């Protein structure tokens, strides 16, 4: 193994001699570029300035302009290109909202394509639509309602796409100024289990390594994630990792085609002949990760492939875990994981003999009712091999939205203030000293709990900045009913979505926001590898009366308590907010100096935990997590939800170029299809006590006994109330499948 990629072309990793993967199913990057040009043809200059000057508002891999800090060369992907139009489209005609009836069946994509929200609007119960109001009137309506609301009934939700630290910081501070800790972001619906597990095992909730650690590591393992779809430029990093001798494993119920082979458009060799990505696949059952990781650990112990010295010096809790692991029988591990003892040995041998390994994981393991334990089980393996703090080792929760890492760290979460300081009396006092008001000291609700709280009548007001609960949370009918009970909903956003059209309990207010590129004074975001990056304000059109994202909640705070707000929020622009973050949050010290395109710093440096863990005793904590096993009654399937050609709930195309699947396809193993007498393309109906889904069979390479459907369409089958300890819904379900 070398730590530097070889320069020559390497035929053994080519996919095919047919140039550009002609006649193979894969994304066509050149067509995506042409489509982006066509979509943005009325504002090409502005689109170019955003791409070349701003940070990416897509996933959290992180880029400044079209460059990054991992490789030289272009950093650009179809995800970013397809999001571009959100930033360049002109204002919608607000009159279409005067009667919402014709809009109700349109769905998310046509609503989004109507254009940017441009003026404040209000809808009262009984109105057939929204009426245009001034900003002063809109803020007065909100403030009036909030004066009548117990702060414990007020919930606040922020999306993770395109919002900057400055906006998160302002929103969570205003929410706490008003008196609530019910504050959450879409980041937590994805990775709250990672935060919970990492805090309890290693004491920090961020990736411990950098992307450069992938290149030249002996082994990089992807668990429950498909970076080819969600963070496409990561595949370019893997192309070069392979050239440096790195082996790549994936652990997933489905053999994702994009993780198997890919044509990287900005690398000539790969663009022409493709790159074989994963060296081995471990197709676990949904929910089979813990038994699989236990099986791997059992082999590590039995073959003495452990780093005993690291375990003795740097960790605690291994004896209990070792005893528990050795008690487990192979049969139960095989039944639970869906894989054989030999598969676990194959993984364990490669992993146990690797001098370095990085684990990268996504929502395939976090969005489970035991998502936090899934992550703890994965951390066990890395601690057992001493794979933290050294070059080419680490733990990396991979995140799909640009604001995912920073949003939580700015305090937009229900159980922690800024930088993960737990909600408590002591910390409330500490923040009272710096903020001049005492934030509440009780633990708030997460997003899924907010809707359950609304059902129970405990939540009566919801402020959403971005976000689309109807298309993201389980059991949409229940979500609709809960939304329609709320006395006040405030939707602050750049475009329209179906959640805004749910009937008002009493009042719904729409407030038009500016994008991160339109924000005065620019803004900052944090990438997966903890790089805090400055994105400047980009000159260009500013639609209608939209206002800066961070400024809008302040208008309400000032109306509610002018004197208190003047002291708490003395900001004129985002530079003032960064100066405050710099003072309040030691981890982000230096953020005040970020002023120009490309300005950045990586907090903690390239690697965390080299000198010690950040737990209270400085040790890495092993966790003897409970062995899970999904009980699947005869005739039922384990259903998981998956992403296609989409960005979160924004579906971009009806078919996924990576898999060829249409939105209503049901991924099914050949032997299951044969047992049901079904063939690819035939209708299949999935049902359970929560709902019914009619789709088409797609026979594919998925673990028998499991099915996959696209998210959010599959949410009709997903239970609302099965939450992980961190509050994340279990986006999996037991279903029956039949022809009708
Ligand atoms: S990989 Fe992520 S950060 Fe990079 S361009 Fe694509 S969406 Fe943006």
The CA-based dihedral angle spanning residues 199, 205, 211, 215, taken in that order and rounded to the nearest 10 degrees: 0
| CA within 13 Å, CB half, 569 | 30
**Ramachandran area for residue 191 (φ above 0: left; ψ -120 to 50: alpha; else beta):** alpha
> Which residue has a Cα nearest atom 5 of ligand 1?
76
| Amino acid 210: pLDDT | 98
The contacts of residue 63 (CB under 8 Å, 6+ apart) are 55, 56, 75, 76, 80, 233
pLDDT band of 687, cuts 50, 70, 90 = very high
- Confidence grade of residue 191 (pLDDT, cut at 50, 70, 90): confident
Question: What is the chain's mean pLDDT, rounded?
Answer: 95
- pLDDT above 60 for 66: yes
Position in ligand 1 atom list of the atom nearest CA 231: 1
Q: How far is the CA of 76 from the centre of ligand 1 (A)?
A: 6
- Residue 429 Cα to ligand 1 midpoint, Å, equals 40
Confidence of residue 705 (pLDDT cuts 50, 70, 90): very high
Measured from the Cα of 61, ligand 1's closest atom is 3
The Cβ of residue 323 has, within 10 Å, a number of other Cβ atoms equal to 10
pLDDT of 2 over the 60 cut: no
As a whole number of angstroms, the distance between CA 142 and CA 559 comes to: 9
What's the pLDDT at 728? 86
Instruction: Show Cβ contacts of residue 601 under 8 Å, excluding neighbours closer than 6 positions.
Output: 531, 532, 590, 594
Once rounded to an integer, what is the mean pLDDT over residues 190-217? 94
- 58 Cα nearest atom in ligand 1: 7
Q: Ligand 1 atom closest to Cα of 57?
A: 8
Q: Does residue 565's CB lie within 6 angstroms of at least one atom of ligand 1?
A: no
The tokens for 275 are 């790159």
Residue 320: band (very low, low, confident or very high) from pLDDT cuts 50, 70, 90: very high
Q: What is the distance between the alpha carbons of residues 220 and 573, in angstroms, rounded to a whole number?
A: 42
CA 735 / ligand 1 centre spacing (Å): 35
Q: What is the mean pLDDT of residues 447-471?
A: 95
663-682 burial code (b ≥16 CB/10 A, e <16): bbbbbbbeebbeebebeeee
Q: In the prediction, which pLDDT does 556 show?
A: 98
> Does the C-beta of 61 come closer than 6 Å to ligand 1?
yes
For residue 68, the ligand 1 atom closest to its alpha carbon is 4
Say if ligand 1 is within 6 A of residue 86 CB: no
Split at pLDDT 50, 70, 90, the class of 400 is confident
Q: Give the tens place of pLDDT for each residue, 504-538.
A: 999 999 999 999 999 999 999 999 999 999 999 99
Q: How far is the CA of 60 from the centre of ligand 1 (A)?
A: 7
DSSP string, 313-350: HHEE-HHHHHHHHHHS-HHHHHHHHSS-HHHHHHHHHH
Comparing CA positions, the residue from 641, 663, 666 lying closest to residue 652 is 663
Helices (H) and strands (E) in the chain, counts: 27, 27
Q: How far is the CA of 140 from the centre of ligand 1 (A)?
A: 39
| pLDDT at residue 399, rounded to an integer | 87
Q: What is the pLDDT of residue 20?
A: 92
Q: Is 80 in the pocket of ligand 1 (CB under 6 A)?
A: yes
pLDDT computed for residue 629 by the predictor: 81
pLDDT for 584 equals: 95
Q: Which helix (H) or strand (E) holds 462?
A: strand 461-465
Locate 579 and state its tokens.
Answer: 């100066």
CA of 478 to the centre of ligand 1 (A): 34
What is the position in ligand 1's atom list of the atom closest to the CA of 76? 5
- Mutation pick for ligand 1 pocket among 70, 161, 232, 647 (CB with most ligand atoms within 8 Å): 232
Rounded-to-integer distance, Cα 720 and Cα 705, Å = 23
Domains recognised in the chain with CATH numbers: 97-183+440-524+532-602 (3.40.50.740), 208-397 (3.40.228.10), 636-738 (2.40.40.20)
Q: What is the 3-state secondary structure (H, E, C) of 245-269?
A: CCEEEEECCECCHHHHEECCCCCHH
* DSSP one-letter string for 62-122: --BTTB-SSSSS----HHHHHHHHHHHPPBP-GGGGG--GGGTTS-HHHHHTT-B--S-EE
pLDDT at 3 over 80: no
What residues does 686 pair with on adjacent strands?
Answer: 693, 737
Q: Is the CB of 403 under 6 A from ligand 1?
A: no
> With bands split at pLDDT 50, 70 and 90, how would you rate the model's confidence at 721?
confident
**75: nearest Cα among 62, 84, 90, 88:** 62
Average pLDDT over residues 383-405: 93
- Closest by CA position to 5, among listed 227, 246, 359: 246
Question: Rg (Cα) of the chain, in Å, rounded?
Answer: 25
The answer on pLDDT for 188 being more than 90 is no
Q: At 353, which helix (H) or strand (E)?
A: helix 341-353
- What SS3 class is residue 275? strand
Pocket test residue of 32, 84, 233, 533 for ligand 1, highest count of atoms within 8 A of CB = 233
Neighbours of 613 (CB within 10 A): 23
Indicate which atom in ligand 1 lies nearest the CA of residue 234.
1
User: In whole angstroms, what is the distance from residue 129 CA to residue 96 CA?
Assistant: 9
Which pLDDT belongs to residue 473? 93
Determine the atom of ligand 1 nearest the C-alpha atom of 56.
8
Helix, strand or coil, per DSSP, at residue 380: helix
Evaluate: CB of 51 within 6 angstroms of ligand 1: no
Q: Ligand 1 pocket test: which of 27, 58, 529, 535 has the largest number of ligand atoms within 8 Å of its C-beta?
A: 58
CA separation for the pair 45, 480 (Å, rounded)? 40
Where does the pLDDT of residue 1 fall: very low under 50, low under 70, confident under 90, or very high at 90 and above? very low
Residue showing tokens 């400024």: 551
Ligand 1 site, residue 232, Cβ cutoff 6 A: yes
Please choose from 71, 75, 404 the residue to mutate so as to test ligand 1's pocket, defined by most ligand atoms within 8 A of CB. 75
DSSP 168-235: HHHHHHHHHHHT---EEEHHHHHHHHHHHHHHHHTS--S-SS-GGGTTT-SEEEEES--HHHHSTHHH
Q: What is the pLDDT of residue 631?
A: 86
User: Which two three-digit tokens encode residue 580?
Assistant: 């405050």
Q: Which phi and psi (to 5°) does residue 349 adopt?
A: -65, -45
Q: At what angle do helices 447-456 and 186-201 cross, to 10 degrees?
A: 120
Q: Is residue 77 in contact with ligand 1, taking CB distance under 6 Å?
A: yes
pLDDT, tens digit, 9 for 90 and up, residues 117-144: 999 999 999 999 999 999 999 999 999 9
The pLDDT tens digits for 572-604 are 999 999 999 999 999 999 999 999 999 999 999
| 427-442: b (≥16 Cβ within 10 Å) or e | bbebbeeebebbbbbe
Residue 545, pLDDT above cutoff 80: yes
Mean pLDDT of all residues in 627-644: 92
Percent of the chain with pLDDT over 90: 92
Residues 236-240: what's their mean pLDDT? 98
Residue 245 has pLDDT above 50, yes or no: yes
Tens digits of residue pLDDT in 598-623 = 999 999 999 999 999 999 999 999 99
- 3-state secondary structure at position 453: helix
Q: Hey, whose CA ends up nearest to atom 2 of ligand 1?
A: 59
Q: What is the mean pLDDT of residues 253-262?
A: 97
Task: Give the pairing type, strands 121-124 and 507-512.
Answer: antiparallel
pLDDT-derived band at 189, boundaries 50, 70, 90: confident
């Amino acid at each position: 193994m070398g730590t530097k990629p070889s320069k020559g072309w390497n035929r053994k990793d080519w996919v095919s001699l047919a140039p550009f993967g002609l006649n193979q199913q894969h994304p066509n990057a050149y067509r995506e570029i042409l489509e982006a040009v066509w979509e943005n043809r009325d504002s090409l200059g502005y689109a170019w300035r955003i791409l070349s000057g701003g940070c990416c508002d897509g996933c959290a891999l992180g880029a400044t302009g079209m460059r990054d800090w991992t490789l030289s060369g272009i950093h650009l992907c179809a995800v970013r290109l397809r999001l571009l139009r959100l930033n360049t489209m002109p204002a919608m005609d607000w009159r279409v909202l005067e009667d919402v009836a014709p809009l109700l069946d349109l769905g998310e994509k046509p609503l989004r394509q109507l254009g940017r929200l441009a003026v404040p609007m209000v809808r009262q119960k009984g109105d057939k639509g929204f009426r245009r109001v001034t900003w002063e009137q809109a803020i007065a309506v909100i403030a009036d309602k909030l004066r009548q609301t117990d702060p414990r009934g007020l919930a606040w939700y922020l999306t993770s796409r395109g919002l900057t630290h400055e906006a998160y910081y302002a929103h969570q501070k205003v929410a706490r100024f008003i008196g609530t800790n019910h504050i959450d972001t879409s980041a937590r619906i994805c990775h709250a289990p990672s935060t919970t597990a990492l805090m309890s095992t290693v004491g920090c909730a961020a990736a411990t390594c950098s992307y450069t650690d992938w290149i030249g590591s002996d082994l990089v393992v992807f668990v429950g994630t498909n970076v080819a779809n969600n963070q496409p430029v990561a595949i370019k990093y893997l192309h070069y990792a392979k050239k440096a001798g790195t082996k790549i494993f994936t652990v997933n119920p489905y053999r994702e085609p994009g993780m198997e082979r890919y044509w990287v458009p900005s690398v000539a060799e790969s663009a022409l002949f493709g790159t074989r990505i994963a060296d081995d696949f471990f197709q676990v059952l949904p929910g089979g990760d813990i038994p699989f990781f236990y099986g791997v650990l059992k082999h590590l112990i039995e073959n003495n492939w452990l780093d005993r010295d690291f375990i003795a010096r740097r960790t605690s809790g291994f004896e209990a875990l070792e005893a528990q692991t050795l008690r487990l029988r192979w049969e139960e591990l095989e039944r639970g994981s869906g894989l054989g003892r030999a598969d676990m040995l194959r993984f364990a041998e490669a992993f146990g003999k690797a001098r370095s390994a990085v684990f990268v994981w996504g929502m395939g393991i976090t969005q489970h009712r035991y998502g936090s334990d899934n992550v703890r089980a994965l951390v066990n393996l890395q601690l057992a091999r001493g794979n933290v703090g050294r070059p080419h080792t680490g733990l990396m929760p991979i995140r799909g939205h640009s604001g995912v890492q920073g949003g939580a760290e700015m305090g937009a979460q229900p159980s922690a203030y800024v930088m993960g300081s737990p909600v408590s009396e002591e910390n409330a006092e500490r923040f009272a000293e710096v903020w001049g008001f005492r934030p509440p000291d009780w633990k708030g609700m997460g997003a899924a709990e907010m809707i359950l709280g609304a059902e129970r009548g405990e939540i009566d007001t919801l402020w959403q900045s971005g976000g689309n609960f109807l298309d993201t949370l389980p059991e949409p009918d229940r979500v609709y009913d809960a939304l329609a009970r709320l006395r006040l909903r405030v939707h602050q956003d750049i475009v329209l979505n179906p959640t805004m059209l749910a009937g008002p309990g009493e009042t719904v207010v729409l407030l038009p926001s500016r994008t991160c590129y339109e924000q005065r004074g620019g803004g900052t975001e944090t990438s997966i590898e903890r790089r805090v990056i400055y994105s400047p304000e980009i000159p260009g059109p500013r639609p209608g009366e939209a206002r800066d994202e961070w400024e809008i909640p302040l208008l309400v705070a000032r109306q509610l308590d002018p004197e208190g707000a003047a002291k708490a929020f003395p900001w004129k622009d985002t530079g003032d907010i960064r100066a405050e973050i710099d003072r309040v949050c030691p981890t982000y010290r230096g953020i005040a100096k970020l002023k120009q395109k490309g300005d950045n710093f990586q907090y903690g440096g390239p690697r965390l935990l080299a000198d010690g863990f950040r737990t209270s005793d400085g040790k890495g904590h092993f966790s003897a997590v409970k062995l899970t096993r999904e009980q699947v009654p005869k005739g039922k399937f384990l259903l998981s939800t998956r992403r296609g050609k989409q960005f979160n709930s924004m579906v971009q195309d009806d078919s996924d170029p990576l898999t060829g699947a249409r939105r209503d396809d049901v991924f099914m193993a050949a032997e299951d299809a044969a047992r049901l007498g079904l063939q690819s393309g035939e209708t299949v109906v999935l049902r359970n006590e929560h709902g019914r889904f009619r789709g088409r069979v797609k026979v594919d390479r998925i673990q028998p006994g499991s099915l996959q459907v696209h998210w959010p369409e599959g949410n009709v089958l997903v239970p609302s109330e099965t939450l992980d300890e961190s509050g994340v819904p279990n986006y999996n379900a037991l279903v029956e499948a039949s022809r009708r």
